[in-house]
């Protein structure tokens, strides 16, 4: 055994106090120790060829991709559940990445479970026959910064990155967002008609080099790689400075009243130019952070709800109609929960404006302090309007000591998983992450607003790093495709708020259940759903587990009792 391997083993074991701390409450629990060793084994196998490793500051392995190798998803293709069997996929802080198990469902005569009364236990119920929203899918954003950084990679490594997100062997993203013009995640502030004041006919409108060299070619490649239809959503950050009250691209400002139709024509022109270049636009948001009135150092523009209402019904809606673009779905909001909540009613209560609007768009910032009841209220008031999350990332929040990028942070991945679960349980039909990839500093960003991303690129070494966030996003994007239907699920048991669930009926008819365990110990889970129930021996500590449950759509509501005994995989490194 090499010294390097011994060091890796020591680092892994150190994460599991149960293995060496005799004062640990479960030190003598052989089942828990067995599970800990299994996780260590999986982690060491990921690290064995140097492809996955720990980085300073991180508590979970990061998988490294370069020209020689890139750890694939295991498995690349999913195994649908067959009658009498459940398939589970698990990723964890300890190093599991999409670990697959196929386990048998047994009848009630085989019911049983662990007898350790000290173990965390939970019962999860899934109401398959109570459908809610139809899902639009999951994805990320082709920003200038993301695509410029991607372009620093050699062609084979770049293609590997795009395959990791969009191909059938990757995460199979179905939603992508692209800024209309520049954003803070650009290397400069710009729009498509700068320095031509009064150009209301848009004679000088033209796409930027960032579109022609980076974004459009990469979106084309994503469209080629994707097996599922890829939906492109576009969002404006700011009108040209000469259209605004403050005469600047940044520091917010509002649209001049006389520029309402030219601004609507500008957005229509963008859609037409992208479609002329071979990229169809599926959706459009009315304004990024449109109801945020604080001055920001980056591209921005704010609206009063009544002004946006009038602009939509008098300018944008008619402009889309005149251009034969009514098929483009318009989402209003594109802002944090409370700002959207304070604004959308004035727009949607006007039938002339509402008829152009497909739904509401939300950002996750401030979600920890604003109740998801905001989403429920919007759904109850306007059940025909879709709810979609269009931006999320780990950002500084004004904390000077905040480190934008932490390679291997499981806590950040957990925050993603918990927020996605909360949002879809409150009628969100999809969830779009922010930058697909960034550099090690969390940029480039011309306004100094660096953040984290699921993939971090190291241009000097021609390699990129798949973060825990990348795999968490995959648990949703790969297993919950567009056309899936959200159904209610809930947890019973003393889990101290550290166990979260979301459930869906897949278009192929089986049930997809997401289990997020934020406990530092394993949790025994019993799942009950129309058609069956079972006991899963252990959900690993600090893990996200996806279960694919067989279901035949039993409309009689009759529940058959089953028990599932989870079988551990073969021992450690010899399996």
Peptide bond just before 456 cis, omega within 30 deg: no
Same domain, 244 and 180: yes
Is residue 113 domain-shared with residue 155, that is, in the same domain? no
121-136 pLDDT tens trace? 888 999 999 999 999 9
> Among the three residues 476, 493, 527, which one is the final residue of a domain in this structure?
476
pLDDT exceeds cutoff 70 at 113: no
pLDDT the model gives residue 107 = 47
Residue 190, in any domain of the structure = yes
pLDDT in tens, 457-495: 999 999 999 999 999 999 999 999 999 999 999 998 777
pLDDT digits (tens, 9 = 90+) for 189-236: 999 999 999 999 999 999 999 999 999 999 999 999 999 999 999 999
- Same domain? For 61 and 149 the reply is no
- Please indicate whether residue 493 or residue 405 has the higher confidence score (pLDDT): 405
User: Domain holding 201: CATH number?
Assistant: 3.20.20.80
213-227, 283-297, 479-493, 543-557: range with lowest mean pLDDT: 543-557
Residue 43: band (very low, low, confident or very high) from pLDDT cuts 50, 70, 90:
low
C-alpha to C-alpha distance for 454 and 182, rounded to whole angstroms: 21
Picking from 118-127, 340-349, 364-373, which range would have the lowest pLDDT averaged per residue? 118-127
Predicted local distance difference test score (pLDDT) of residue 338:
95
Q: Higher-confidence residue: 38 or 309? A: 309
Taking residues 254-259, report their average pLDDT: 98
- Lowest mean pLDDT: which of 68-72, 114-118, 392-396? 114-118
Instruction: Please indicate, yes or no, if residue 79 is contained in any of the structural domains.
Output: no
Half-sphere exposure of 392 (CA within 13 A, CB side): 29
pLDDT tens, residue by residue, 157-168: 999 999 999 999
311 pLDDT above the threshold of 70 = yes
Q: Read off the pLDDT of each residue in 505-534 and give the average, rounded to a whole number.
A: 88
Which residues are paired to 138 by β-bridges? 431
Q: Report, as an integer, the average pLDDT of 13-41.
A: 71
Domain containing residue 537: CATH number: 2.60.40.1180
Same domain? 58 vs 163:
no
- Which of 458, 476, 494 represents a domain boundary (last residue)? 476
Top pLDDT among 376 and 40 is at 376
374 and 389 in contact (C-beta within 8 Å)? no
pLDDT one-digit tens code per residue, 563-575: 232 222 222 223 3
Cβ-contact 65, 463 below 8 angstroms: yes
Phi/psi of residue 516, nearest 5 degrees: -105, 115
Dist CA 528 CA 488 (whole Å): 12
Residue 564, both tokens: 């599932």
Weakest-pLDDT range from 28-37, 73-82, 552-561: 552-561
In a domain, residue 230? The reply is yes
Q: Which pTM does this prediction carry?
A: 0.89
What pLDDT, on the 0 to 100 scale, is given for residue 182? 97
Tell me what pLDDT residue 75 has: 65
Q: Which residues pair with 549 in a beta bridge?
A: 511
Residues 218 and 340 in one domain: yes
If asked whether residues 449 and 496 sit together in one domain, one would say no
- Do 308 and 375 sit in the same domain of this protein? yes
| pLDDT confidence of residue 443 | 97
Average of pLDDT values for 396-413? 82
| pLDDT of 112 | 52
Residues in the chain: 575
Query: Which segments of 127-281 are extended strands (E)?
Result: 137-141, 175-180, 231-236
**What is the pLDDT at residue 72?**
84
What is residue 558's predicted lDDT score, i.e. its pLDDT? 29
78: in domain = no
Q: Which of 36-50, 96-110, 187-201 has the weakest average pLDDT? A: 36-50
Structure tokens at 205: 């409108």
Write out the two tokens for 6.
């011994």
Contacts of 65 (CB under 8 A, 6+ apart): 51, 71, 157, 160, 161, 164, 463, 464, 465, 466
Q: Point out the least confidently predicted range of 324-333, 456-465, 529-538, 558-567.
A: 558-567
Where does the pLDDT of residue 114 fall: very low under 50, low under 70, confident under 90, or very high at 90 and above? very low
Q: Which long-range contacts (CB under 8 A, 24 or more apart) does 461-465 make?
A: 461/66, 462/66, 462/67, 462/153, 462/154, 462/157, 463/64, 463/65, 463/66, 463/157, 464/64, 464/65, 464/153, 464/157, 464/161, 464/437, 465/55, 465/62, 465/63, 465/64, 465/65, 465/407
DSSP-derived secondary structure letter, 294: S
The domain of 54 spans 3-65
CB 483 within 8 A of CB 509: no
Is residue 518 assigned to a domain?
A: yes
Residue 80 belongs to a domain: no
So what's the pLDDT on residue 17? 75
What is the percentage of the chain residues whose pLDDT exceeds 90? Answer: 72
> How far is CA 225 from each of CA 69, 174, 219, rounded to the nearest angstrom?
19, 11, 10
Shared-domain flag, residues 120 and 199: no
315 and 430 assigned to the same domain: yes
The pLDDT, as a whole number, for residue 446 is: 96
The answer on 329 and 445 residing in a single domain is yes
Question: Taking 70 as the threshold, does the pLDDT of residue 42 lie above it?
Answer: no
pLDDT-derived band at 533, boundaries 50, 70, 90:
low
Q: Cα angle at 230 between 228 and 233, to 5 degrees?
A: 155
The CA distance from 88 to 203, in Å, is 56
Average confidence (pLDDT) over 307-321: 98
Higher pLDDT, 266 or 36: 266
Q: What is the rounded CA–CA span in Å between residue 491 and residue 480? A: 20
User: What is the domain count for the chain?
Assistant: 3
Identify whether 70 is part of a domain.
Answer: no
Who has greater pLDDT, 401 or 340?
A: 340
Closest C-alpha to 285, from 226, 363, 213, 209: 363
Does 407 share its domain with 528?
Answer: no
Structure confidence at residue 377 as a pLDDT band (50, 70, 90)? very high
Residue 76 inside a domain? The answer is no
Last residue of a domain, one of 476, 496, 520: 476
Q: What is the CA radius of gyration of the chain?
A: 24
- Both 162 and 32 in a single domain? no
Longest dimension (CA), the chain: 79
């Amino acid at each position: 055994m090499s010294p390097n391997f011994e060091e890796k083993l020591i680092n892994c074991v150190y994460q599991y106090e149960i293995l060496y701390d005799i004062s640990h409450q479960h030190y003598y629990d052989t089942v828990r120790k067995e599970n800990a060793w299994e996780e260590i084994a999986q982690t060491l196998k990921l690290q064995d060829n140097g492809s996955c490793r720990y980085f300073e500051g991180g508590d979970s392995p990061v998988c490294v991709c370069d020209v020689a190798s890139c750890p694939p998803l295991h498995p690349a293709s999913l195994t649908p559940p067959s009658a009498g069997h459940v398939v589970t996929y698990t990723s964890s802080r300890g190093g599991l990445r999409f670990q697959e198990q196929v386990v048998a469902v047994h009848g009630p005569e085989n019911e049983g479970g662990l007898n350790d009364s000290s173990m965390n236990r939970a019962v999860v119920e899934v109401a398959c026959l109570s459908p809610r929203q139809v899902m639009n899918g999951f994805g990320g954003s082709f920003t200038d910064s993301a695509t410029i950084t991607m372009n620093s990679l050699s062609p084979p490594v770049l293609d590997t990155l795009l395959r990791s997100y969009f191909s059938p062997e990757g995460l199979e993203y179905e939603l992508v967002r692209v800024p209309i013009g520049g954003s803070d995640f650009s290397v400069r502030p710009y729009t498509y008609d700068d320095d031509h004041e009064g150009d209301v006919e848009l004679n000088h409108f033209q796409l930027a080099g960032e579109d022609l060299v980076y974004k459009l070619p990469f979106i084309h490649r994503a469209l080629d790689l994707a097996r599922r239809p890829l939906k492109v959503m576009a969002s404006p950050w700011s009108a040209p400075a000469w259209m605004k009250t403050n005469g600047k691209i940044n520091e917010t400002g509002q649209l001049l009243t006389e520029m309402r139709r030219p601004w609507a024509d500008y957005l229509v022109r963008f859609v037409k130019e992208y479609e002329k270049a071979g990229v169809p636009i599926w959706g459009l948001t009315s304004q990024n952070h449109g109801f945020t009135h604080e001055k920001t150092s980056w591209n921005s523009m704010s609206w009063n709800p009544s002004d946006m209402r009038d602009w939509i019904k008098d300018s944008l809606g008619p402009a889309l109609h005149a251009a034969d673009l009514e098929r483009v779905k318009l989402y209003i909001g594109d802002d944090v929960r409370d700002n959207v909540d304070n604004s959308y009613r004035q727009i949607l209560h006007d039938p002339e404006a509402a008829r152009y609007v497909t739904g509401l768009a939300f950002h996750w910032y401030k979600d920890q302090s604003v109740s998801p009841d905001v989403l429920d209220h919007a759904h109850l008031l306007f059940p025909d309007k879709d709810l979609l999350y269009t931006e999320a990332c780990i950002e500084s929040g004004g904390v000077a000591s905040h480190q934008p990028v932490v390679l291997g942070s499981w806590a950040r991945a957990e925050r993603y998983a918990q927020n996605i679960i909360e949002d879809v349980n409150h009628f969100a039909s999809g969830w779009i992450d922010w930058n697909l990839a960034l550099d090690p500093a969390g940029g480039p960003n011309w306004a100094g607003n660096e953040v984290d991303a699921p993939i971090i690129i190291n241009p000097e070494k021609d390699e990129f790093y798949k973060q825990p966030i990348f795999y968490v996003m995959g648990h949703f994007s790969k297993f919950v495709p567009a056309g899936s239907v959200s159904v209610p699920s809930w947890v019973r048991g003393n889990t101290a708020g550290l166990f979260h669930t979301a459930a869906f009926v897949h278009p192929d008819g089986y049930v997809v259940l997401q289990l997020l365990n934020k406990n530092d110990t394993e949790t025994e889970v019993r799942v009950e759903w129309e058609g069956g129930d079972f006991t899963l021996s252990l959900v690993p500590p600090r893990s996200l587990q996806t279960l694919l449950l067989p279901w035949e759509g039993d409309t009689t509501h009759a529940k058959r009792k089953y028990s599932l005994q989870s079988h551990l995989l073969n021992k450690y490194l010899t399996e």
